[in-house]
Each structure stands twice: as C-alpha cells, then as structure tokens.
C-alpha cells in the first residue's frame, strides 16, 4: 500500500489508508486504545478496538511508547468530535522502531534540557510550528525578490575581510593565513549589483556575539538585497514592501501554525504601508523626552527600540544614524555629514531591529579614507574599491535577519527557537 500523509486525509474519507509516523501520545480505556500519530504533516487520532483488531495487532499495541515509529492501516472516518475532524479505525499496526524512555514528555521541562535535546524537541508541536513558519518565510523572501527581478548571487562564507566591525569576527586559520567567517554578504553584493542590477544573497552569517540576549545568535541567516542606482528613500520603500509581503504571506499560509503558537493575528494584520519614518535626531529627542537614559549619538538598546515603536502599530523606520556608530561603507548624509544615509526597521511588540541597511559610499577617495579611519587592512579591500574605480554608481541595500523576523511573526520570546539548531555563546551542541 502507498503511504497517505495526514495532511491529505480529508480526500480519503471512507477509504482504507496506510499511515507512517511516530506515536505522539496515547491513552487506553480498557477495550479501546486511542493513538495520536504524527507524521510531520499533522497529527491524527487512531482508534484500536480489542473486539475488532486481530489478536496479534492488539498484543503489539501493548508495547507502544511515546515516539515509537509505526505503520498503521485503517479506515478513515469523518467525525466532527475527533481533533481535526477525522479519525482512523485501525485494522493493522506494525512497529517499525521502538522508543524506550523518550526524554521529552508532555510535562514541563527546563530550557537547558530542551536545548540539549533540540534534535528531539523539534518534534514537539510548538517547535514544529515555528520551523514550519520559518520555511514559509524563506519561501516568501525568495518569491518577493525573484518576482522583482533580483538575481540570487551567493556570497562566500570564508572571507579575508570584515564588513561589520572587527569586534564580532570569528577568526579561522586558512592554510596559515587569517580568514573570517562572514558577518554579512553585503560587500559581495555590491560587485554583484554592478553585474546584474539587482542581487541578493541569503545564507548563514556569523558573529562572535558575547552578549547573552534573546535577540542574538552567533550563527544566523540573513537575506541581503542590493540594488544599483537605488538611493535611501527607495531603499526604505523596498524594505516596507518586503516586510508587508512576508507578513501577508504568513497570514495567508501559516494560520494553523500561528494558532498552535497562540499568536494574536491582529497586530500582524495591521502591518501595512506606510511605515512611519523617523529621523535619528527625532528618535533621540523622543527617548530623552520619555525620560530614558539615552545619550545622543549612541546606538539604540532594546529599551530604546521598544520606546520608539511603542506608539506605532506597525514597524518604524529610523534613518540617518550617526556615521560614527555605523559601518565604514555607509555614505554620509549631504545635509549633515556626521550622519549616515542609513536606516533600521524596528518591528513592533518589542521585537526591535529586524533590518539594517544603507546607501553605500560610491566615491573612491572618500571610501579609501574611511577604510583608513576604521583601521581596516587596505589590501583586503582592493577588490571592493574596484567597484568604485570602474563605473561607480549610487547603490543601496539592506540585510534582514531571518530568525528575528520569524520570532516576531510567531510571537515567540527567544530567537533560539526560530532556527533548527541555535548557536549562541554557550551553545554549540547538538
Ligand atoms: O544591521 P546589520 O549588522 O547589517 C548588516 O550586516 C549589513 N551589512 C546588511 C546589509 O546592508 N546588507 O545586520 C542586519 C540584520 C539585523 O537587522 C538583524 O535582523 C540581523 O541582521 N542580525 C542578527 N540576528 C541574529 N543574531 C545576531 N547576532 C544578529 N546580528 C544582526
Ligand atoms: Mg544593525
């Protein structure tokens, strides 16, 4: 018999089907056993009756335990009282793989224990839902960019240079030379957009973040579009359209998963254009007016971001951060050169920065000076300077953190649950 997936069960009402999966939970009431089977696409209740099942099948069912791998056969019965509206009346049960003392039971476990057992924890309902949303968000990201004519242009992970400051670099020995794990694929998108007009990379990036917060991973995924001849105002529009598309897609395709997560959908439905834009100077003033201990010129901390988004039901775009706290490649604001043509998108509901981007410095001389000022090794950037030597052009781009975006859409507290196997300062396993 061919396998039927639980997600397709409605089409098989009244038929006898074969399901393959794992025992999620079970209970017995004397002559009836209720098995909850999960197969990755869903969970369904299966009923085994002592009276109707062959003796061998009933006997086999006596050894069932949580997460036993099973092949089950039975008739699909539509029943509104059953969870999901269907249940299976079993005629056959075959144990494929036993499961002895499965460590994650349905009772509460501590965070450290669950993270140590991440390889099993992903079978649990909520974790499963978050990672399914992640899958849809990834697809939405690619659909949006591909449909707008962007070319997927992969950036290397082993790199000779830093892009986002030298304090969070993971250094490795590359055949006797220093190399670094990529903090961002941006520097490689810039020559990419000179070749293709619009490009993006989407891959893992690495930062040796020593701070333990609920928003920082040391390995996270970032999508980075870069567009030739685009300037800051259009970049903000691109970011806005991008986020609206992704959130809409999640509302469209992830409702069952968001329900499992008990996510309030109303705030997500309010994520619509236009997002408020706030000049850094105005954001700074707002923070001081609210009485926060914020020093003008500094970057925002989590409480600052929360205060900035507090009055808004949609993401807020803060633009023109001080050049001194931003990366070397950002173009200064012609109106006030101590500021940069940069922008961050801050998600509401306390999630904070999900996007960081800027218009890039396109003047060779200025960029050479910046590299010098930031004490970066000039040789490692010669190729990057070539983009300014041979037909320089205004261009802009941003990076969106996948896990922060997924955390926000799912409404989960900690970013570590938005990636299959999180890496943080004190966690390198499993
Ligand atoms: O603001 P960031 O540092 O920007 C860049 O790396 C640019 N080069 C991107 C570009 O213009 N192409 O990082 C971009 C985003 C942040 O807004 C955040 O969502 C995410 O990456 N991010 C992290 N996510 C999880 N853990 C961390 N440690 C993160 N650091 C940044
Ligand atoms: Mg940033």
Confidence of residue 115 (pLDDT cuts 50, 70, 90): very high
Q: Quick one: pLDDT at residue 247? A: 98
CA dist 414 and 397 (Å) reads 27
Q: What value does the mean pLDDT of the chain take?
A: 96
Q: Quick one: pLDDT at residue 214? A: 94
Testing ligand 1's pocket by substitution, the residue of 187, 341, 404 carrying the most ligand atoms inside 8 A of its CB is 404
What is the position in ligand 1's atom list of the atom closest to the CA of 415? 25
Per-residue pLDDT tens for 148-173? 999 999 999 999 987 777 789 999 99
Which residue has the CA at smallest separation from atom 24 of ligand 1? Answer: 401
Per-residue pLDDT tens for 343-385? 999 999 999 999 999 999 999 999 999 999 999 999 999 999 9
Per-residue pLDDT tens for 380-415? 999 999 999 999 999 999 999 999 999 999 999 999
Tokens encoding 188: 């490689």
- For the cut 90, the answer to whether the pLDDT of residue 101 exceeds it is yes
The residues with which 178 forms a beta bridge, in sequence order, are 173
The set of residues, in sequence order, having a beta carbon less than 8 Å from that of 83 and lying 6+ positions away, is 43, 44, 45
Asked if 342 and 326 touch (Cβ cutoff 8 Å), the reply is yes
Tokens encoding 27: 């209970």
What does the CA dihedral 69, 74, 79, 82 come to, rounded to 10 degrees?
A: -20
Which residue has the CA at smallest separation from atom 4 of ligand 1? Answer: 356
Ligand 2 ion: nearby residues, β-carbon < 5 Å: 356
Per-residue pLDDT tens for 198-252? 999 999 999 999 988 999 999 999 999 999 999 999 999 999 999 999 999 999 9
CA dist 233 and 334 (Å) reads 14
Does 430 sit behind a cis peptide bond, omega within 30 degrees of 0 on the bond before it?
A: yes
CA dist 291 and 367 (Å) reads 38
What is the position in ligand 1's atom list of the atom closest to the CA of 209? 28
Q: In what order do the strands lie in the sheet with 177-181?
A: 158-159, 177-181, 171-174
Say which range, 27-31, 138-142, 202-206, 384-388, has the weakest mean pLDDT: 27-31
Q: Quick one: pLDDT at residue 151? A: 98
Residue in the block written with tokens 């002895």: 100
- For the cut 80, the answer to whether the pLDDT of residue 260 exceeds it is yes
Q: Quick one: pLDDT at residue 34? A: 96
CA dist 283 and 320 (Å) reads 10
pTM (two decimals):
0.96
The set of residues, in sequence order, having a beta carbon less than 8 Å from that of 406 and lying 6+ positions away, is 130, 133, 134, 137, 418
CA dist 193 and 199 (Å) reads 6
**How far, in whole angstroms, is CA 301 from its chain's centroid?**
21
Verify whether ligand 1 is closer than 6 Å to residue 357 (CB atom).
yes
């Amino acid at each position: 018999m061919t396998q039927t997936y639980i997600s397709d069960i409605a089409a098989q009402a009244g038929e006898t089907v074969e399901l393959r999966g794992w025992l999620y939970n079970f209970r017995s009431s004397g002559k009836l056993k209720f098995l909850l089977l999960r197969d990755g696409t869903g969970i369904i209740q299966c009923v085994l009756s002592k009276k109707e099942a062959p003796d061998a099948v009933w006997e086999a069912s006596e050894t069932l335990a949580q997460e036993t791998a099973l092949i089950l056969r039975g008739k699909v019965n539509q029943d509104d009282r059953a969870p999901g509206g269907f249940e299976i009346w079993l005629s056959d049960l075959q144990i494929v793989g036993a499961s002895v003392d499965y460590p994650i039971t349905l009772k509460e476990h501590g965070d450290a224990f669950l993270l140590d057992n991440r390889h099993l924890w992903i079978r649990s309902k909520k974790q499963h839902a978050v990672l399914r949303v992640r899958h849809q968000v990834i697809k939405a990201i690619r659909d949006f960019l591909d449909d707008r004519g962007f070319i997927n242009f992969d950036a290397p992970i082993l790199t000779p240079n830093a892009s986002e400051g030298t304090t969070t670099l993971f250094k490795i020995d590359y055949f006797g030379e220093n190399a670094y794990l990529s903090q961002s694929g941006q520097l490689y998108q810039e020559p990419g957009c000179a070749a293709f007009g619009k490009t993006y990379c989407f891959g893992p990036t690495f930062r040796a973040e020593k701070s333990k917060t609920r928003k920082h991973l040391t390995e996270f995924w970032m999508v980075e579009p870069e567009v030739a001849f685009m300037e800051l105002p259009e970049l903000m529009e691109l970011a806005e359209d991008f986020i609206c598309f992704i959130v809409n897609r999640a509302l469209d395709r992830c409702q069952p998963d968001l329900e499992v997560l008990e996510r309030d959908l109303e705030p997500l439905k309010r994520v619509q254009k236009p997002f408020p834009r706030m000049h850094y100077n105005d954001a700074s003033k707002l923070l001081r007016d609210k009485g926060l201990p914020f020093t003008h010129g500094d970057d925002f901390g989590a409480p600052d971001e929360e205060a900035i988004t507090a009055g808004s039901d949609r993401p807020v775009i803060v633009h023109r951060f001080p050049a001194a706290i931003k990366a070397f490649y950002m173009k200064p604001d012609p109106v006030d050169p101590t500021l940069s043509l940069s922008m961050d998108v801050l998600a509401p509901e306390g999630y904070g920065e999900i996007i960081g981007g800027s218009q890039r410095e396109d003047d060779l001389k200025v960029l050479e000076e910046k590299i010098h000022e930031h004490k970066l090794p000039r040789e490692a950037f010669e190729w990057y300077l070539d983009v300014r030597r041979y037909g320089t052009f205004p261009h802009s781009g941003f990076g969106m953190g996948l896990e922060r975006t997924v955390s926000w859409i799912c409404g989960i507290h900690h970013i570590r649950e938005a990636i299959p196997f999180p890496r943080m300062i004190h966690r390198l396993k499993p």
